[in-house]
Amino acid sequence: MIETSKQKINVSRKIVERKEVVFVEGDMIIPDAKPDILNAISISGIPTIYRKEAMEGKVRIDGNINTYIMYLSDGEENETRGINTSLDFSEIIEVGQSIEGANVNLDTKVNSIECKIINERKISLKAALEINIQMNNNEEIEIISDIKEENNLQILKETTQVNSLIGIGSTKVNGKETIQIDTADSLAEILKANVTLLDKDTKISYNKVLAKTEAEVKILYLTEENNIKLAVGRVPIVGFIDIQDVSEKAICDINYEIQNLIIKPNNVEEHSVYVELETEIKCQAYEKKEVNIVKDIYSPYQKIDVNTRQINTVKSKKIIREKNQIREKLTIENIENKKIIDVEANPIIINENKIKTDLKYECEMELKISLLNTKTSKIEIKQEKIAFDFTTNILEEGNNIAINAELEVGNQDYVIQENNEISCNIDVTFFIGIEKNVLLQVIDSIQENEKRDLQKYSVVIYIVKAGDTLWKIAKKFGSTVKDIAAINKIEDENTIMPGQKIFIPRFYQNNIDKAIITENG
């Protein structure tokens, strides 16, 4: 009976990572209190996900898109007005590798919304919703880490480092805030709203993870005096997540998902807008763990059946956080008598290249600029793009590296200058997650069988082939790495060359025959 020692590790294996675009459609009737619609000026949407479920080969996602339509009314004065609706959706997406109960993380954004005017009181909406799906399967595995060396067992061991999963936890945070508007204004209606999560941060103490961010809410509103203004506020989102045995040395993957959103004029407090966000915060915590692995075993005297398997897991994990500054001037025709009232900045990665230890990004900043004509009080939307590059040193080489980048827009400043120019100062933070993966060969089971048929000859001459190692050769011929290295005066047991001639000592029954046999593999 071969005595073994075992070690447990928790493996988080990425089984799905894909991007899907789904289309959400719906019709809307203009409320009786609103004027007829002539044409749409701007349509925007904020997605929320209130349910997700992993099933065999697919994932179900339920949510809605809070949609804001700013439009030109069909009246004598062609006033700018706004309406708000919710586009509900339920999607079942085929994802192949999905398994029931897998851990699902989503990142959603509205790429575009089309508005078709059916008549002056009815419109049709079609939104393109981009959903980034990531699914992990978490598994506790037991590996043979050591074997009691007896009966001349030959054991191939390896010591390596992996990121073992400590645990997964989540919490729901209900953030509420009142955003003030100018005290001189009487709010008539909300024309447009946008929510961006900023300043994400994580702090870890024993058994708890503190995850926090702030939701920046920008609200374009119409006053009773028919003026258009912008209000900006922040809603703190702070949650404690319980994960047993997590400590300051842990590495945490944090995912935020807005599940419910309310933005409405405040009926309790004048000159303000009430905002409420329900957010799910999910955390996966990892620790660096050194593991001893028995990769293979054999005996020159006895036949041993070994069942092995390969495990793909994360060897190392880190997050790079770096800020990039964009300083650019845009030329826009006919901006006299106009002022910038709002800018939506959306950074997009166009291309990613890894050259040795450098990671290079080619990006674009999509800008949707809302200009207010100071004479007519009409809104005009200009869409522009700014190309920018970013390079960082990730200090990792090799092919088994997974990279995931997220971009966050920070401070922004836009100033109209002479010659139809807009000066743009934009800070963009790159959050780059880097995982180095490793394929581990581990032993599942060991079965002792009958004694090996020992040969009558004592030495084999072998010509090394590509892919050979001393271990493979010794196991094949029932010898040992130590004996082969000694007889051939090999100093480095890990270095042999194709075409090299080596002598292989064999175990034999008696000394009757000591013939030399030549083997070419």
Give the domain CATH number at 492.
3.10.350.10
Q: Of the candidates 152, 161, 155, 160, which has an alpha carbon nearest to the alpha carbon of residue 4?
A: 155
Reported in sequence order, the residue ranges of 30-153 that DSSP labels E, i.e. its strands, are 37-55, 58-73, 80-94, 103-119, 122-147
Note whether 351 and 396 are same-domain residues: yes
The Cα–Cα gap between 14 and 338 comes to 50
In a domain? residue 339: yes
Q: What percent of the chain has pLDDT over 70?
A: 94
The Cα–Cα gap between 281 and 171 comes to 5
The Cα–Cα gap between 47 and 105 comes to 15
Note whether 334 and 384 are same-domain residues: yes
Mean local confidence (pLDDT), 6-18: 85
Q: Is the pLDDT of residue 223 over 60?
A: yes
In a domain? residue 429: yes
Q: Which of 394, 425, 445 is the last residue of a domain?
A: 445
Note whether 381 and 327 are same-domain residues: yes
Tell me which residue range forms the domain holding 483: 453-519
In a domain? residue 373: yes
Please list the residues that pair with 501 across neighbouring strands: 463
Note whether 417 and 498 are same-domain residues: no
Note whether 428 and 490 are same-domain residues: no
Return the pLDDT at 142. 87
Note whether 421 and 468 are same-domain residues: no
Q: Which of 415, 445, 475 is the last residue of a domain?
A: 445
In a domain? residue 327: yes
The Cα–Cα gap between 423 and 249 comes to 43
Note whether 341 and 324 are same-domain residues: yes
Q: Is the pLDDT of residue 123 over 70?
A: yes
Mean local confidence (pLDDT), 470-491: 90
Q: Is the pLDDT of residue 485 over 80?
A: yes
In a domain? residue 284: no
The 10 Å Cβ neighbour count of residue 362 is: 14
DSSP code, position 226: S
Q: Is the dihedral of CA 234, 344, 432, 427 positive or negative?
A: negative
Return the pLDDT at 117. 95
Q: Which of 445, 472, 488 is the last residue of a domain?
A: 445
Mean predicted lDDT score pLDDT of the chain: 89
In whole angstroms, how far apart are CA 366 and each of 241, 261, 386, 417, 424? 35, 25, 7, 20, 12
The residue that leads in pLDDT, 256 or 454, is 256
Gyration radius (Cα) of the chain, Å: 32
The Cα–Cα gap between 86 and 464 comes to 70
Mean local confidence (pLDDT), 465-485: 91
Q: Is the pLDDT of residue 510 over 50?
A: no
Note whether 316 and 423 are same-domain residues: yes
What pLDDT digit, counting tens, does each position of 164-187 carry? 999 999 999 999 999 999 988 889
What pLDDT digit, counting tens, does each position of 126-152 carry? 999 999 999 988 888 888 888 876 667
In a domain? residue 356: yes
What order of strands is seen across the sheet that includes strand 272-298?
154-180, 272-298, 251-265
In a domain? residue 157: no
User: What's the pTM value of the predicted model, to 2 decimals?
Assistant: 0.84
Q: How many domains are there within the chain?
A: 2
Paired tokens of 74:
């069909």
pLDDT category at 348 given cuts 50, 70, 90 is: very high
Q: Is the pLDDT of residue 498 over 90?
A: yes
In whole angstroms, how far apart are CA 380 and each of 16, 39, 133, 414? 42, 12, 35, 16
Return the pLDDT at 397. 67
Note whether 437 and 342 are same-domain residues: yes
Q: Is the pLDDT of residue 509 over 50?
A: no
Note whether 433 and 330 are same-domain residues: yes
Note whether 432 and 337 are same-domain residues: yes
State residue 485 phi and psi, 5-degree precision: -65, -40
In a domain? residue 497: yes
Q: How far apart are the first and last CA of the chain?
A: 33
Mean local confidence (pLDDT), 319-329: 93
Tell me how far the alpha carbon of residue 370 is from its chain's centroid.
31
Note whether 458 and 330 are same-domain residues: no
